[in-house]
Structure 1
């Protein structure tokens, strides 16, 4: 019997405040639910923001005072999900960490807000966030189930290039896949954030857990991204969803653009064109990349069937049995792995498929 599910990628951009971004997320999720989506993926750093074009006043061997002020503002804009700097894992998921005095939850309430949206819409949310814990920031992805709430959260283990200045490294143990049931279909979900998808052993750690839904929130809007997503899907015999923000320079925060000159580009210039896409387990493109449109351009439309919404919210019905069909000839974590000759271990992570 087909194991069908409707999935969506939201090409959304961070708004001026966290409250505004959460409101936009709510509208987009409601639109997706009205079109039958069971799961929606939002881009990397959607909550908290991806500080594109910002150098934080840093050069090798020197930091300028304005860069520290920029980091202060970025830190303030980040979300507090109530986790610890080391990452509490199941303790965080199951809400067993100590509560602050006179509070019913840890953090700033963002986790609870996402859980409420998922519960009210019936949509499984996967959201890219900039998360603060202690004095550091982490680029994270949080899984929110409509019935169970927060199922898990993972932090980017290897920030790319200048990201290393502002984001700490996450624990590899957070690569743990999560399982759930949506529309009667059993899912094993994992995520690799942006250029983590260029890390072959990291990809293998997800394949080894037998993920059938592989999520790739990203900030990469280059033409080379789609071939990578097709490789991942065909390599892992898994469905791949990738979501990126679409942003013009004038839509960046004032604390970034205020330090830039006119020579750095016009306000209408795209600093990220998007490119969100959906790929099937044989590497076939189910939904082509979408460019230069954001869900936030149309999220206030009165008609939920407005064709502009369809352009910014990419939706596909998928059959999870196609993953097993694809493993007739290749299963890189099983029959094709030569695990008698090659071994992979990840500190703190059980690579066996999670129990269903």
Structure 2
């Protein structure tokens, strides 16, 4: 018998100017709204909580120090109050939730994707492996430990953020783990229509190549928020359009109508029989692979600042490295 999962890609605006809790409350309300429509998997945009660092795209680095520091103060600690709120909403609704956050780990911020199971348990916390262009002044780099597919209440889920989808080896790392649903996240309200066009090509290609569903969520800024972020009408243009919230089948077909402006949800029923139908023809990590010719080496060890070998104790009980 075929298995069917109802999924929602949620396009949503952040709450700007508060401590970040406002956006988290919007996320939890959206989870409950989706549950009323029978949704069992909800995917939210890239670094939605507290908000994507749009300021870094339109300002030179030497000018956005104050806004960068404000993002530090509003960023999410994992685990912490925000993850607790979302975990409770996931548990209450029996829903799997994929959420993008700015994660603070002591003195560094990361672009982090969190997968909550329907029990509220955090199944995966992964960090974007290479921030893109302007983002490198805001976030640190992730590592291979996050290139992982996890078993959830709705199936095997993998996730990548934004231009990680242009790293074919990162995508292949997830494909080899047989992801059934790929959760993609982009910032939205950025670059213009070309960003949305490129996004569509990217997520439809991954669905075809991997033989899985892709649920893609982008953020949205209102006109008022664009003015607030830009601070200058001349800088507003780069913060418009660039939204493409959509769900794609393993055959590369758009399920439902993509959302390119405003807040809302794209909801679709994912029929897992389509995965087998696609992979019968082309399984890129199975019968269509040539491992004796082409293979992938992955270092899944978490990055560590300190490697202590042969710790010895000096007089006074102080450990020294030998």
Kept after mapping to 2: 8 A contact 1:56/1:71: no
Partner of 1:77: 74
So what's the TM-score if we normalise by structure 2? 0.86
Counterpart Cα distance in 2 of 1:226 and 1:315:
17
After the TM superposition, which residues 93-242 of structure 1 pair with which residues of structure 2 at under 5 Å, given as runs? Answer: 108-147=80-119, 149-182=121-154, 187-220=155-188, 221-242=195-216
Whether 1:278 aligns to 2:247 is yes
3-state DSSP of counterpart to 2:214: strand
Contact 1:189 1:212 in 2 (8 A): yes
CA deviations on 1:234-275 (whole Å, 9 max, x unpaired) are 000000010001113521595x44xx3233248xx9624521
Looking at structure 1, the residues matched to 288 and 140 of structure 2 have their Cα atoms a distance apart, in angstroms, of 35
Q: How does 1:308-347 map to 2 (within 5 A)?
A: 312-347=264-299
Show structure 1 runs of 4+ deviating over 4 A.
none
Q: Say what the alpha-carbon RMSD is for the aligned residues.
A: 1.9
Q: TM-score if structure 1 supplies the norm length?
A: 0.78
Give the distance between the partners of 2:198 and 2:68, measured in 1 at CA. 30
Using the TM superposition, give the Cα deviation of residue 161 of structure 1 relative to its aligned residue in structure 2, in angstroms. Answer: 0.6
Report the CA distance shift for 1:175/1:215 in structure 2 as closer, same or farther (over 3 A): same
Contact 1:11 1:313 in 2 (8 A): yes
Instruction: Please tell me whether residue 263 in structure 1 is matched to residue 215 in structure 2.
Output: no
**CA offsets 1:50-71 (integer angstroms, 9 cap, x no match):** 1224358536xxx34xx22121
- Does the C-alpha gap of structure 1 residues 39 and 172 become closer, same or farther in structure 2, counting only changes over 3 Å? same
Provide the rounded CA distance (Å) in 1 between the counterparts of 2:170 and 2:242: 27
Answer 1 or 2: which has greater helix percent.
Answer: 2
- In structure 2, the gaps of 5 or more residues are 189-194, 302-322
- Corresponding residue of 1:291: 260
Cα separation, 2, equivalents of 1:77 and 1:53: 15
Distance change >3 Å, CA 109–CA 253, structure 1 → 2: farther
Is the 2:13–2:222 contact (alpha carbons within 8 Å) kept by the matching residues of 1? Answer: no
Comparing 44-53 with 205-214, which one deviates more in the overlay? 44-53
Taking a change above 3 Å as real, the CA distance of residues 272 and 53 of structure 1, as seen in their structure-2 partners, is: farther
Paired residues of 1:42 and 1:243 also in contact (CA < 8 A): yes
| Number of aligned positions between the proteins | 293
1:192 is displaced (CA, Å) by: 1.1
Which sections of structure 1, spanning at least 5 residues, go unmatched? 83-107, 295-311, 350-356
* Distance (whole Å) between structure 1 residues aligned to residue 222 and residue 241 of structure 2: 7
